[in-house]
Amino acid sequence: MSDTFTLEQYGIKVANIIRNAKPPVLYQHALAYEPEAAIAASGAIMVRSGTKTGRSPTDKRIVEHPDSKDDIWWGKINIPIDEKTFEINRERAIDYMNTLDRIYVVDGFAGWDPKTQVKVRIICTRPYHALFMWNMLIRPSDEELAAFGDPDYVVFNGGVFPANRFTEGMTSKTSVDLSFEKGQFVILGTEYAGEMKKGIFTVMNYIMPKRGIVSMHCSANEGEDGDVSLFFGLSGTGKTTLSADPRRKLIGDDEHCWSDDGVFNIEGGCYAKAIDLSAEKEPEIYAAIRFGTVLENVVYDDETHVVDYHDVSITQNTRASYPVEFIPNAKIPCVGGHPSNIVFLTADAFGVLPPVSKLTPEQAMYHFISGYTAKVAGTEMGVTDPEATFSACFGAVFMVWHPSKYAEQLAEKMEKYGASAWLVNTGWTGGPFGVGKRMSLKHTRAIIDAINEGSLENAEFVADPIFGVGVPTSCPNVPSEVLTPKNTWADKAAYDKQAVKLANLFIQNFEKYKEGSSDAIINAGPKV
């Protein structure tokens, strides 16, 4: 698979370049050169990502440059470095690559809309990383590869090699550095493949809004009549699960853009959480685990190579990466019309929010900017408490502009094309975590069906006394008593106390977004 293709323009002089290899070749290389690589009983390749089993957001840096400085939302998420430090880290990655016998190159596209596609080149040292990005980028045809030319962005993944902690601006041996002006992205000190995927997403989150296109951390699917729904939500809220509906075509599971032509997927693949995966609960995803799929950090039986998706001894962040067409009802090309429904998913472990509520335009922006879900805290002496998590735009760690930029563009598109907004709680009912129980997936699917079919739009709604959202009094195939959360609690006074607590957490979080938000959006929050 090697050819005369060279990378000398980047200072890379490795003789053996494995360029745009397809899965059979990358499987061979993975089994030969990847530590602990094995083939699962399903045919997927199983690999380990090394010490890091998740992203390292505190190690992400962006070059502070006069051309982009005023665009970027600087702070704890977008941390600046100077051009010299970026050059040092890039040279460190290239110097490491030049010590190797072989490296891997993957060329592909980000964005299914041909008018706005971004050409991406991945240069990496591990065959599993090449296969991962072969899955996750949009795969060019042979003709497109022949005419690919120079990429718009290049990823230098030298992640096996650490950053120098004594380099100015470094806080650890991991550094993930991006220069918009150079169109380059450098990874050191982490072998977690998701850094490449989310690095490209960060790029799209910068350049698409400059073109008047909304860049969104969401999944999307399409009904038989062409109606499109978007699903926003943080990890664990059901974004991938609920968008993989056998009765609807999957446009994509994680990253999308919304232009005046409609919605398009940024990626050519899916990166699904594998924890507790089963054929019964998530049949489409389970069936996608086959030859060509990368299974990351899973545990398996040494003799049968059957994966135990419930085993989290390596990490809870077990993952599966596969081409989007591995989902039988994927829509290829991954584009759709303008969305009819925008669904914000939250896993409220406080047990306070309704299983579904309709949002006014102002409430939609408030909840979009808030990006709320709740995680279950650790247990100490048998006591557990939910922990509120707020991530602006349901993906703050990937946002480059101030969250208000994305919110304004989303609001504009929703108003222009008449999309309805919904808040769906996939968390707890009947009490908080430890007292109540998780929302029935059957009921949540019924709610999503009612949204997609339009029947919930015509329901009767009552305003929640604290959060102000519109709570339906009925929904097909969902018991009416479930729809009003207070009714599911045995201790009504405890519910009131918990609701006020959560409302105050919303209000406190939104303080940092008041500047730049209209009074209408600020007033759309909870009242206590």
Residue from 19, 29, 48, 55 carrying the catalytic annotation: 55
- Segment 78-106 shows an average pLDDT of 97
Structure-block tokens of residue 266: 């940024």
Residue from 107, 254, 348, 449 carrying the catalytic annotation: 254
**Whether residues 363 and 503 fall in one domain:** yes
Structure-block tokens of residue 510: 């939104």
Residue from 202, 240, 346, 426 carrying the catalytic annotation: 240
Helices (H), 104-228: 127-136, 142-146, 194-210
Query: Domain boundary at 211, 246, 265, which?
Result: 211
Q: Is residue 423 part of a domain?
A: yes
Confidence bin at 295 (pLDDT 50/70/90): very high
Q: 272: closest CA among 307, 319, 308, 335?
A: 319
Cis amide leading into 476 (omega within 30):
no
Specify whether the CB–CB gap between 142 and 124 falls below 8 A: no
**Integer Cα distance of 457 and 459 in angstroms:** 6
Question: The domain spanning residue 394 has which CATH number?
Answer: 3.90.228.20
Question: The domain spanning residue 75 has which CATH number?
Answer: 3.40.449.10
**Integer Cα distance of 180 and 63 in angstroms:** 8
Query: Domain boundary at 211, 227, 257, which?
Result: 211
Whether residue 378 is predicted with pLDDT greater than 60 in this model: the reply is: no
Q: Give the pLDDT of residue 169.
A: 87
Residue from 48, 60, 126, 217 carrying the catalytic annotation: 217
Q: Give the pLDDT of residue 465.
A: 96
Q: Is residue 296 part of a domain?
A: no
Q: Is residue 67 part of a domain?
A: yes
CA separation (Å) from 100 to 6, 15, 95, 152? Answer: 15, 9, 9, 26
Residue from 319, 338, 358, 402 carrying the catalytic annotation: 319
Whether residue 466 is predicted with pLDDT greater than 50 in this model: the reply is: yes
- Segment 250-273 shows an average pLDDT of 96
Residue from 235, 384, 389, 440 carrying the catalytic annotation: 235
Q: How does DSSP assign 70-125, residue by residue? A: GGS-BTTTBEEE-HHHHHHHHHHHHHHHTTSSEEEEEEEEE-S-TTT-EEEEEEES
Using one digit for the tens of pLDDT, what is the confidence trace for 319-373?
A: 999 999 999 999 999 999 999 999 999 999 999 999 999 999 999 999 999 999 9
Parallel, antiparallel or unpaired: strands 249-252 and 214-222:
antiparallel
> Ramachandran region of residue 412, left (φ > 0), alpha (ψ -120 to 50) or beta?
alpha
Residue 61, strand partner residues = 79, 177
Q: Note if 443 is an active site residue.
A: no
Using CA of residue 14, residue 18, residue 19, residue 20, what is the dihedral sign? negative
Whether residue 380 is predicted with pLDDT greater than 70 in this model: the reply is: no
Q: Give the pLDDT of residue 408.
A: 93
Residue 176, strand partner residues = 60, 187
Using one digit for the tens of pLDDT, what is the confidence trace for 398-422?
A: 999 999 999 999 999 999 999 999 9
Using one digit for the tens of pLDDT, what is the confidence trace for 301-321?
A: 999 999 999 999 999 999 999
Q: Note if 60 is an active site residue.
A: no
**Integer Cα distance of 373 and 143 in angstroms:** 45
> How many structural domains does the chain have?
2
Q: Note if 254 is an active site residue.
A: yes
Residue from 29, 197, 198, 358 carrying the catalytic annotation: 198
Interhelix angle 403-417/194-210, nearest 10 degrees? 70
Q: Is residue 273 part of a domain?
A: no
Q: Give the pLDDT of residue 375.
A: 79
Using one digit for the tens of pLDDT, what is the confidence trace for 216-230?
A: 999 999 999 999 999
CA separation (Å) from 473 to 348, 441, 480? Answer: 20, 19, 6
- Segment 24-35 shows an average pLDDT of 97
Q: Is residue 228 part of a domain?
A: no
Q: Give the pLDDT of residue 3.
A: 54
Please report, as a single letter, which amino acid is at residue 336: G
Interhelix angle 403-417/361-370, nearest 10 degrees? 150
Residue 307, strand partner residues = 300
| Helix/strand/coil for 510 | helix
Q: Give the pLDDT of residue 362.
A: 96
Q: Is residue 436 part of a domain?
A: yes
Q: Give the pLDDT of residue 143.
A: 96
Q: Note if 55 is an active site residue.
A: yes
Using one digit for the tens of pLDDT, what is the confidence trace for 19-29?
A: 999 999 999 99
**Integer Cα distance of 514 and 525 in angstroms:** 11
Q: Give the pLDDT of residue 2.
A: 44
Residue 249, strand partner residues = 222
Q: Give the pLDDT of residue 415.
A: 97
**Integer Cα distance of 319 and 160 in angstroms:** 20
Specify whether the CB–CB gap between 254 and 217 falls below 8 A: yes
Q: Note if 90 is an active site residue.
A: no
Q: Is residue 101 part of a domain?
A: yes
Residue from 239, 331, 367, 405 carrying the catalytic annotation: 239
Reduce the secondary structure of 262-319 to three states and give it as a string: EEEECCCEEEEECCCCCCCCCHHHHHCCCCCCEEECCEECCCCCCEECCCCCCCCCCE
**Integer Cα distance of 394 and 364 in angstroms:** 12
**Whether residues 203 and 345 fall in one domain:** no
**Integer Cα distance of 193 and 176 in angstroms:** 12
**Integer Cα distance of 372 and 219 in angstroms:** 17
Q: Is the pTM higher than 0.75? A: yes
Q: What percent of the chain has pLDDT over 70?
A: 97
- Segment 468-480 shows an average pLDDT of 97
Average pLDDT, rounded, for the chain: 95
Query: Which residues, other chains included, contact 381 with Cβ-Cβ below 8 Å and sequence gap of 6+?
Result: none
Whether residue 1 is predicted with pLDDT greater than 80 in this model: the reply is: no
Please report, as a single letter, which amino acid is at residue 53: T
Residue 263, strand partner residues = 258, 336
Q: Is residue 282 part of a domain?
A: no
Return the number of other C-beta atoms located less than 10 Å from residue 147's C-beta.
9
Whether residue 379 is predicted with pLDDT greater than 60 in this model: the reply is: no
Interhelix angle 361-370/492-510, nearest 10 degrees? 80
Q: Note if 518 is an active site residue.
A: no
Q: Give the pLDDT of residue 384.
A: 52
Query: Domain boundary at 190, 211, 232, which?
Result: 211
* Residues in the chain, total: 528
Using one digit for the tens of pLDDT, what is the confidence trace for 227-239?
A: 999 999 998 898 8
Q: Give the pLDDT of residue 452.
A: 97
Using one digit for the tens of pLDDT, what is the confidence trace for 152-204?
A: 999 999 999 999 999 988 989 999 999 999 999 999 999 999 999 999 999 99
φ, ψ for residue 47, nearest 5 deg: -135, 165
Residue 269, strand partner residues = 323
Confidence bin at 244 (pLDDT 50/70/90): confident
Specify whether the CB–CB gap between 157 and 92 falls below 8 A: no
Q: Give the pLDDT of residue 381.
A: 35
For 251, half-sphere exposure in the C-beta direction (CA atoms, 13 angstrom radius) is: 30
Q: Which domain holds residue 423?
A: 340-400+416-522
